[in-house]
Each structure stands twice: as structure tokens, then as C-alpha cells.
Structure 1
């Protein structure tokens, strides 16, 4: 895969703008709409993404961004250290941001746990492109470094999505659906996808 976009590893200076990009990209995403309080929804989603970028992506994983910060991809890897501690550190803040949907979010997480691989994988934790920049190939471009690294290290890449159009997008990148589950509480369907 090649791209004409400049993609680079993220730094702490990128957090605010990268979180804004992810907040915009996920504001109306089916899973997010289902699991994040509708009051101040966009602010909550942006804050969740900022926490995730800071405490999971940059602290424990790998984050790539487009140079203009309109595309962001966050991965955890088999070598990601300290994930349990990092998730523990932000658990209360995440619950607060889920707001009145916190119990639904917990049930959604329980429902999708059965989909996750037991073998080590590169896990695509989140990826997003600012709506105004979509359709130009930025999504594919920002995913390339993680897909290449997973392949070079001999690992599969794994993701979950609740958007049917995303399934088609990821299939074009070599992912295959390996399972799905409807979320409880009348939630959306979630597909698990693997690229070997």
C-alpha cells in the first residue's frame, strides 16, 4: 500500500486536534450513540477520545496521524505494556463520560468480549477521519503503518465495528468478518474483523 499523504507518529502536541478529529468522526457512530450519554454527546465523545489517545494510545500503544491531524489511528499491540493499569487509571472518568449510558456501555463490552481473539494481535482501537476530509483516502493512509507493522511482525490485525459501511471498507483492506453480535438494550450490531 502506498499513499501520497504524509502520515507520522503522533506526539503529545497532537492530542487536542487529534481528539477533535476523532470526536467529529465518532459523534454519530452507532456504537457511540448507543453507549455515550446524549446530553453534551459530542463533548463527551471528544473527551473519551482524548482520554483514550493520551492514556492508551500514546502511553501504551501506537498512534499515527496525518500531518494536518484530520486522520488518526490508534493501535494496541502484543508488546503494549501497562494496558491493564492504563485502563484502570481512566475507568472512573470513562464511566462518568458515559453518563446515563454507563450500564449499557458495560453490557456492550461484555457482549463483545466473546468476539476478541485469544492470540496476540495488533488491535485497531480507534480510527477516524474528520468528516470534511473523508473520501480522499486518508483512512487507508493512516491505517497503513499499523497494518504494515503487524504484517512485518507476523501478527494478525483485529478490529470491531458497528457500521455496515465500515465492514465493506475494511474488507477492501484485506480484513474478513470473523464474528458478530447484536448489542443488548436494542443496540447496534458489532462485527469482529481479522486481517491475517
Structure 2
């Protein structure tokens, strides 16, 4: 698939959040962290909050048609602003405390955090996700920090990331929750 992948602007956030919400509708992690009550609305808003932070602090890549979106945060990025953290907690509702108390491995020191990637279902399986991953890894490799880490709670994503050179460094089994694979690539 040949498509233009570009850096997102603030004006792309709303539609990009919609793309991610559609892509993550049945994702194990989001199903676990977001209450069923108004799930779709909460999920889309949560994606918009995270993308707002990523546009400000890191790198958000999108296809021109916004059917594919990825966000990476450099190691020196700060936590979301207090107002955004409060909104995140509100969107997670009663599950927030459980989520924030869950212990996942720390990202390796001096590592980009590949925070998210999603592709609309009608564009899935056509190479768009791989194109975005390749562009993201290329951008990270040009920085002074040639390492990228991520987490996924979808087994088929593990295989996708492995095809791009990531290796599993940890597997976390969350009691009454999803399995989370931590992965790293040295560029």
C-alpha cells in the first residue's frame, strides 16, 4: 500500500481520536479500563486526551485520510497536565484506581514510548499499519534515542510488532484483566 504518512497537527485530533476509538473498540486493554456505561463516548474522548498530549509532547503520525494513526512519546516527555489527568481518571470512572495500581514494567531508560497505533477496519490488512510503524521507527532512528518500547494486550499485535523487529521483554498477566506484552526494538 502506498499512502502518505505525515505528522499530525492539532486540527487532526478529533478525527484521529475517532479512528483510534473505532480501532480499539474491542481491544482487551480498553475494554478493561473503561466502564461499559457510555463506553464508545469515553473511549473516543480518552483517545483525544492522549492524542492532545502526544501532539504537544511527542510525535503523532497520520495517513492523509486519517484512517491510520500512531503516537510516540520521547523519554523526556512529561506526564499529561493535571487537568488532562483528572479527565483521564473521570473517563475511567471506578476502574481508574485499579488501572493506576496495576504494575507494568517500566519502559527502558532512554526509550521512545510507542503509545498507540490504530487503523480503521476498512483499511486494515492493506499495509497501512505497517507503513505507519515503519515511518515511526524511521523517525525515532533519526533521533538521538534509537530505542522504542511499547505494550500491547492483543496477541496478534505481538506478531505484527515482531515482524518489524520488536522483541518481547516481558509478559504481564493481570488478575481479572488482560495479558500485556512489553516489547522493545533497538534501532
Calculate the TM-score normalised by the size of structure 2. Answer: 0.93
Q: Provide Cα deviations, 1:149-177, integer angstroms capped at 9, x if missing partner.
A: 22233421100000000000100010000
Report the equivalent of 2:110. Answer: 120
Report the equivalent of 1:76. Answer: 73
Report the equivalent of 1:163. Answer: 154
Instruction: Measure, in 1, the Cα distance between the counterparts of 2:138 and 2:108.
Output: 21
Report the equivalent of 2:121. Answer: 131
Is residue 2:80 matched to residue 1:63?
A: no
Instruction: Measure, in 1, the Cα distance between the counterparts of 2:124 and 2:108.
Output: 33
Secondary structure of residue in 1 paired with 2:142: helix
Report the equivalent of 2:88. Answer: 94
Secondary structure of residue in 2 paired with 1:123: strand
Instruction: Measure, in 2, the Cα distance between the counterparts of 1:144 and 1:79.
Output: 22
Report the equivalent of 1:173. Answer: 164
Instruction: Measure, in 1, the Cα distance between the counterparts of 2:81 and 2:118.
Output: 21
Q: Give the structure with the larger helix fraction.
A: 1
Runs (5+) with no aligned partner, structure 1? none
Compare 146-155 and 57-66 and name the one that shifted more: 146-155
Structure 2 CA distance for partners of 1:87 and 1:116, relative to 1, 3 Å:
farther
Secondary structure of residue in 2 paired with 1:65: strand
Q: Is the Cα–Cα contact under 8 Å of residues 36 and 105 in structure 1 kept in the other structure?
A: no
Report the equivalent of 1:25. Answer: 23
Instruction: Measure, in 2, the Cα distance between the counterparts of 1:62 and 1:30.
Output: 25
1:101 deviates by 1.5
Instruction: Measure, in 1, the Cα distance between the counterparts of 2:6 and 2:146.
Output: 21
Runs (5+) with no aligned partner, structure 2? none
Aligned counterpart in structure 2 of residue 11 of structure 1, from 6, 9, 34: 9
Structure 2 CA distance for partners of 1:87 and 1:162, relative to 1, 3 Å:
farther
1:79 deviates by 4.6
